[in-house]
Amino acid sequence: MGILSTSRVKSPWLLHFDCGSCNGCDIEILAALTPLYDIERFGIVNMGNPKHADVLLVTGPANYRNYRVLRNLYEQMPDPKGVIVVGTCGCTGGVFHNCPNIIGGIDKVIPVDVYVPGCAARPEAIIDGVVLALKKLSRS
- CB under 8 Å to 112, separation ≥6 — which residues? 83, 84, 85, 105, 106
Which residues 6+ apart lie within 8 Å of 23 measured at CB? none
Q: In the bound complex, what is the minimum distance in angstroms from residue 26's beta carbon to another protein?
A: 12
Q: Is 26 a residue that touches another protein (CB under 8 A)?
A: no
Q: Please say which residue, 103 or 127, places its beta carbon nearer to another protein.
A: 127
Site mask for another protein (CB under 8 A), range 47-86, x = bound: xxx-xx-x---------------------x-xxx------
Helices (H) then strands (E): counts for the chain: 5, 7
HSE of 108, CA atoms in CB hemisphere, 13 A? 19
Kindly tell me which residue out of 11, 24, 66, 132 binds another protein, with binding defined by CB under 8 A: 11
Q: Which residues bind another protein (CB under 8 A)?
A: 3-4, 6-8, 10-11, 35, 38, 40-43, 45-49, 51-52, 54, 76, 78-80
